[in-house]
Structure 1
Amino acid sequence: MIAVLSAGAVAMLVSLLGTPLFIRFLVKREYGQFIRQDGPTAHFTKRGTPTMGGVVIIAATVIGYAVANLVAGRPPNVSGLLLLFLMVGLGVIGFADDFTKISRQRSLGLSPLWKMIGQGAIGVTFAVLVLQFPNERYRTPASTEISFTRDISALDLAFLGAGVGLILFVLWANFLITAWSNAVNLTDGLDGLATGVSMLVFGAYVVVAVWQSNQSCQVLSQVAPRCYEVRDPRDLSIIAAAIVGACFGFLWWNASPAKIFMGDTGSLALGGALAGLSILTRTEVLAAIIGGLFVLIVMSDVIQIGWFKLTGKRVFKMAPLHHHFELMGWGEVTIVIRFWIIAALFVCVGLGIFYAEWVVG
């Protein structure tokens, strides 16, 4: 538990103290955000606000994880390293997207094709590697079974053989990575919204991973009732805590009126980390409940686009959902706080389901 607390505290300090330094660096080089012309007019005042703040979140997370392992006197485990690979890798893609926007002075970054290629390369590599590296109990970081609060043996993607299972798992994992990356990216539309929601969701995963660590089949016994077959829950809890700390420190500067935006650098990295945690903790479906606010915002975008193509009419004044409420006259801070409350309710429901499954067993 000391390692978990150390990771959160160190990441928070790095983010809290490092963000203003990064802001000065970005301002000096005039690396500011460009605002979409079809968005709410109130956002035009945000033009020029430094972006790419996700660099600080990623750096703080990595440093927090490294220090926590030093404090615990243990080397990092493969699950933690693979999760960081996914987070940092997608962060690099997001950074390239943000830098393209700045260098070309437009609100659009990388082309969809290049963005897809970059995300696909990182996602496929991650998906293949998490099925490798078995420990002494022959447990790999992930499995080909689709999971809810744990693996569901009846939903094994390898039912037609290992080769087919690998292909199906790579597709499934990349669907989750793409979905969660886009979900956090769409949510990052108001000052502090995505950062605050991420704090709540990753905080839930600290609880999940710590519980799995205490109830691990590797610690208790393979025959212990309802133990969890998660390879390295300790490392996962440390990284989740580091992300919470990093977001906590960043929120100080990202809250309205934001002094810096996380940009695609941060949103893609956080979305990738959430997808990776859901896969490695074997809670792929449960993540959709814990991160329910992210899901709502994605669905609002899907509904808006789908309904407009079918009927030529719009369901919402504007999508994603938070912009709809902006155009209804809600204040930005009001929307953000109310969405945080909704996100917290989803987190509570998700954690309740996770614990209830263990109790009922």
Structure 2
Amino acid sequence: MKAILLSGTCALLVSLFITRWAITQFASWGLGQLIREDGPKTHHVKRGTPTMGGAAVVASVVIGYASAKLLMWDSPSWSALLVLFVLVGMAGVGFLDDFIKVRMQRSLGLRSRAKLLGQTVVGLTFGFLALHPALQGDAPAAVSHRLSLVRDFGPALPWVIVVALIWFMVSGTSNATNLVDGLDGLLAGSATMVFAAYTIIGIWQNNHLCESAGTTDGLCYQVASPLDLATVAAALTGACFGFLWWNASPAKIILGDTGSLALGAAMAGLALLTRTELLLIVLGGLYVAVTGSVMLQVSWFKLTRRTTGVGKRIFLMTPLQHHFELLGWEQVTVVIRFWIVTGVCVAAALGIFYGNWVTNLR
């Protein structure tokens, strides 16, 4: 527990101060945000706001976690290193995207195929490292071959299918958080709640580990190093919370793809390693809704254009947050209400998690 508190507190403090430094430094380097021309007109005032703020978040997470390990004189677990790998790796993909935007002075960075290739490399490498038996030692497998909501269920899946699911989760979740990151503080605030939930889940799983209980019944969890995963989740929580101080409306700095892709990948990594993959759908209900709005909009537009010759839209604009902006909602109103939605989703997910344990207890 001390490591969790140290990790979260250190990441919070580092994020507060390093983000402040990044605002000044990135502005002097000309790393300003570019705004899509077809977006809401109110967003044009953000042009030039320092971007790539996700680099400060990622650095804060790494520093916070490393500081906790050093102060506790403890070695990092393989599971925690896997989360940090997918976080930093996807931040690298996002950094390339942001850098191209700034360098080429266009609102689109990496081409979709190039970005997908980068996400695929990170996702597949993460999957290989998480599944390779020689890297696990005597600890339980980092990622299960079975599906899971709160615990594993169903038959063991072939290795190829598991790798494909890992790739889909890492790429899909990082793209989902990337779509959400469109308003000041929206992603940073919602991600803080999701990572806080994973901190709680990790602590609970550690208190009810099967190897500690000496049983494999429905009251225990077969997870590798859940307390260390909670330590990483606490660092992510603190880093996002500290960044929110500067990212809240009006934002002094923007996460950019460096941060949005990295945070989504970290969520996927935590879901896979805590064996709560399907629970992430509930925890990240906001991200599912926003991504779904884009998919529906594109599909309906293509279908109506093919059948009637005129493409029609379901929403005024996607992602979903921009639809409400065009309806007349203030940006702050949209953000706060979307935070509330995230809070409800997180509460529902934790309710499902705890409810499963109580059901098995009876």
> Do they superpose with TM above 0.5?
yes
In the alignment, the residues of structure 1 paired with residue 100 and residue 92 of structure 2 have an alpha-carbon distance, to the nearest angstrom, of 12
**What is the CA deviation profile of residues 243-301 of structure 1, one whole-angstrom value per residue up to 9, with x for unaligned ones?**
00000110000000000000000001000000001100000000110111111111111
Q: Which residue is equivalent to 2:340?
A: 341
Q: Which residue of 2 aligns with 1:136?
A: 138
Q: Take 1:117 and 1:360, find their aligned partners in 2: how far apart are those partners?
A: 43
2:286 counterpart residue number: 293
Distance 1:29 1:225 in 2: 55
Partners of 2:215 and 2:269 in 1: CA distance: 25
Task: Report the equivalent of 1:160.
Answer: none
2:35 matches 1:35: yes
For normalisation by structure 2, the TM-score amounts to 0.95
Superposition pairs of residues 80-99 of structure 1, within 5 angstroms: 80-99=80-99
**Match for 1:338: what amino acid?**
R
* CA deviation map 1:79-113 (0-9, x unaligned): 00011101100000000100000000010101112
Amino acid at match of 1:263: G
Structure 1 unaligned regions, length at least 5? 158-164
Pick one of 194, 197, 208 that aligns with 1:201. 194
SS of equivalent to 2:167: helix
Counterpart position of 2:307: none
- Map residues 55-70 of structure 1 onto 2, 5 A cutoff: 55-70=55-70
Correspondences of 1:84-233 after superposition (within 5 Å): 84-132=84-132, 133-136=135-138, 139-152=140-153, 154-157=154-157, 165-223=158-216, 225-233=218-226
Q: CA deviation at 1:223?
A: 4.0
Question: Which secondary structure does the structure 1 equivalent of 2:325 belong to?
Answer: helix
2:3 counterpart of 1:7: no
| Residue in structure 2 matched with residue 74 of structure 1 by the alignment | 74
Matched-pair contact (CA < 8 Å) for 1:11–1:246:
yes
Q: Which amino acid aligns with 1:304?
A: Q
Letter in 1 for 2:325: E
* CA apart distance, 1:131: 1.1
CA distance in 2, matches of 1:155, 1:260: 46
Contact kept? 2:65, 2:235, Cα under 8 Å: yes
CA contact (8 A) 1:7 1:64 kept: yes
Q: Is the 8 A contact 1:185 1:264 kept in 2?
A: yes
> Residue 246 of structure 1: SS of its match in structure 2?
helix
Residue 69 (structure 1) shift = 1.2
Aligned to 2:254, the other structure's residue is in SS state coil
Q: Which amino acid aligns with 1:141?
A: A
**Amino acid across the alignment from 2:141:** T
Q: CA deviation at 1:225?
A: 4.6
- Which 4+ residue blocks in structure 1 deviate beyond 4 angstroms? none
Instruction: Note if contact 2:78-2:136 (Cα within 8 Å) is conserved in structure 1.
Output: no
8 Å CA contact retained: 1:128, 1:166: no
Deviations 1:3-30 (A, max 9, x none): 1011110000000011111111111111
Letter in 2 for 1:108: L
Matches within 5 A, 1:321-336: 321-336=320-335
SS in 2 for 1:219: helix
Distance in 2, matches of 1:216 and 1:68, equals: 22
Cα 1:166–1:225, aligned 2, differ >3 Å: closer, same or farther? Answer: closer
Q: Which residue of 2 aligns with 1:259?
A: 252
Q: Distance in 2 between matches of 1:293 and 1:349?
A: 12
> Per-residue deviation at 1:357?
0.3
Cα displacement string for residues 118-168 of structure 1 (whole angstroms, at most 9, x for unaligned residues): 11111111101111233435x21111111111111x1421xxxxxxx2211
C-alpha separation in 2, matches of 1:106 and 1:51: 13
C-alpha root-mean-square deviation of aligned residues, in Å? 1.0
CA contact (8 A) 2:51 2:255 kept: yes
Does the Cα contact within 8 Å between 1:200 and 1:347 map onto a contact in 2?
yes
**Secondary structure of 2:147's partner?**
strand
Q: Distance between the aligned counterparts of 1:72 and 1:142, measured in 2?
A: 26
Q: TM-score scaled by structure 1?
A: 0.96
Amino acid at match of 2:345: F
Shift of 1:74: 1.2
* Corresponding residue for residue 308 of structure 2: none
> What CA distance in whole angstroms lies between the structure 2 residues aligned with 1:269 and 1:225?
33
Could you say which residue in structure 2 is the equivalent of 1:48? 48
Unpaired segments ≥5 residues, structure 2: 305-310
